[in-house]
Amino acid sequence: MGVFVVNKTNFEKEVLQSDIPVLVDFWAVWCVPCRMIAPIVERLAEKYAGKLKVAKLDVDENQEIAIRYQVMSIPTLLFFKNGQVVDRVIGAVGEPVITQKIEALLRQS
């Protein structure tokens, strides 16, 4: 399954209406820390396939969504459950931090 791209045309369907939790990576092409965590995000997408949807959203192309969720700096990871943001991580953090957030999110299921 892996990481898929969300934008203003599919955000509602893929994230807000998802029947499983969703991790959305808010990023941009020019963002070096975003590129640093990209391999981690991709690994976690594979690890949690079927239990967690993992998506990337380019903030330059989807500014209105970034503004709606008050994403002020990138990378920002938002964790959605039942269409609501339930957690967030700001900045380039290590895999254990993201894994811990995912595990907590899945335990709430």
Query: Which amino acid is residue 106, in one-letter code?
Result: L
31 catalytic per annotation: yes
Distances (CA, A) of 17 to 40, 41, 79: 25, 21, 14
Which of these is catalytic: 34, 40, 44, 102?
A: 34
Nearest residue to 37 (alpha-carbon basis) of 23, 50, 53: 23
Residue 19 DSSP symbol? S
34 catalytic per annotation: yes
* 81 alpha-carbon distance from chain centroid: 12
Which of these is catalytic: 3, 22, 24, 31?
A: 31
Nearest residue to 90 (alpha-carbon basis) of 30, 46, 34: 34
Task: Cite the active site residues.
Answer: 31, 34
